[in-house]
Amino acid sequence: MSQGYGFRCKKCNRSYFAMYGNGLMHEEAYMEKIREIESGKYGVEWKVLYEYIPNLIFDPDRTIYMCGYCELWENDVDVSLYEPINPVETQRCIDEAIKKYGEDGKTIYEAWLSKEERDRGYFPFREYRRICQGCGNVMKKIPYEELKWLPCPDCGELNSHWLYAMGD
Ligand SMILES: [Zn+2]
Ligand SMILES: [Zn+2]
């Protein structure tokens, strides 16, 4: 399930959306992020960690990051990495998923882990620090309730919003 807000800027007429979650596209979103990590979009360190340490995962849900200095925001996945508390048990679950879904089994298993399963079975390994493209400061995740105050990405105007939801 994903939900968020839609906006239309009263000054420059731009439409923009801010969403939490990923609707029904968990797997695709997860695959896409893996490709981006592997291509080096999140830096060489992330690429190497993800490639060489077995069974690291991240949360496929989108979230909102905001820069506290220049108010630039980004709607993206938090690629902070988590590692299995019990690697043997995790590998057993992955093997089972591969038996059931073929070679995509590992991705399917990891993409569909619920928050509870992730909290129970994994612990934080490395937090991803998202750097603001505008001013170079570290961006922070903002709580869902604050989404309605997101300024227009083009002109910075604050706008009224409507509720937007998709998925299950
Ligand atoms: Zn605008
Ligand atoms: Zn900034």
Report yes or no: 80 and 128 within 8 Å, Cβ to Cβ.
yes
Stronger pLDDT, 168 or 54, i.e. the higher one? 54
Compute the distance between CA of residue 28 and CA of residue 30 in angstroms, rounded to an integer: 5
Determine, yes or no, domain membership for 32.
yes
* CA–centroid distance, residue 163 to ligand 1 (Å): 19
Q: How far is the CA of 12 from the centre of ligand 1 (A)?
A: 4
Range of the domain at 36: 25-60+82-126
Instruction: Tell me if 148 sits within 8 A of 161, measured CB to CB.
Output: yes
In a domain, 66, yes or no: no
pLDDT in tens, 99-131: 999 989 999 999 999 889 999 999 999 999 999
In a domain, 113, yes or no: yes
Give me the chain's average pLDDT, please: 91
**147-166 pLDDT per residue, tens:** 888 999 999 999 998 887 76
Judge whether 16 lies within some domain. no
pLDDT level of residue 1 (50, 70, 90 thresholds): low
Residue for token digits 């994994």? 122
The confidence score (pLDDT) of residue 141 equals 94
Whether the pLDDT of residue 8 is over 70: the answer is yes
Check residue 73 and give its pLDDT: 95
Q: Evaluate whether residue 6 is within a structural domain.
A: no
Find the 131 Cα to ligand 2 centroid distance in Å: 8
pLDDT of the residue at 162: 86
Reading the block at residue 13, the tokens are: 């007429």
- Give the count of beta carbons closer than 10 Å to the beta carbon of residue 28: 13
Q: How many domains does the chain have?
A: 1
CA of residue 166 to ligand 2 center, whole Å: 30
Query: So what's the pLDDT on residue 166?
Result: 67
Kindly tell me if the per-residue pLDDT of 134 is higher than 90.
yes
Within-domain flag for 55: yes
| Structure token pair of residue 120 | 């129970």
Given this model, what pLDDT does residue 159 score? Answer: 93
**23 confidence band (pLDDT: 50, 70, 90):** low
Query: Is residue 168 scored above 60 in pLDDT?
Result: no
Q: Is residue 15 part of a domain?
A: no
**Of the bound ligands, which one is closest to the alpha carbon of residue 157?**
1
Residue 167 domain-assigned?
Answer: no
pLDDT at 67 over 60: yes
Residue 167, pLDDT > 70, answer no
Higher pLDDT pick, 166 / 61:
61
